[in-house]
Amino acid sequence: MLGGGRPTATMAAGILKEKGLIEYSRGLIQILDVAGLTKTACECYTVIKNHLDNCTEFDRGITA
């Protein structure tokens, strides 16, 4: 949702809430179904997650 405005985020959150994937109130989001949310996400989710996992793994290997 990068670059989306508040109305777009609200609409997307409403759809995810209707599907029972999340619950939200006053800016707090609770993920109810991780597998379902992952399945619903576009393919870019996996690409970004893998990238961030690799960065985190790389950071753990650095010693000062």
Assign 30 to helix, strand or coil: strand
Alpha-carbon separation of residue 18 from 15, 22, 32, 38 (angstroms) = 5, 8, 12, 16
User: Residue 17 is encoded by which pair of tokens?
Assistant: 């809430």
Domain count, the chain: 1
**pLDDT tens per residue across span 27-45:** 899 999 999 999 999 898 8
3-state class percentages of the chain: helix first, strand second, coil last, to nearest 5: 60, 10, 30
Residue 42 covered by a domain: yes
What pTM was computed for the model?
0.68
Residues in the chain, total: 64
Residue 25 covered by a domain: yes
What range does the domain containing 34 cover? 6-60
**Euclidean distance between CA atoms 35 and 28, whole angstroms:** 20
Residue 21 covered by a domain: yes
Report the mean per-residue pLDDT for the chain.
86
Residue 54 covered by a domain: yes
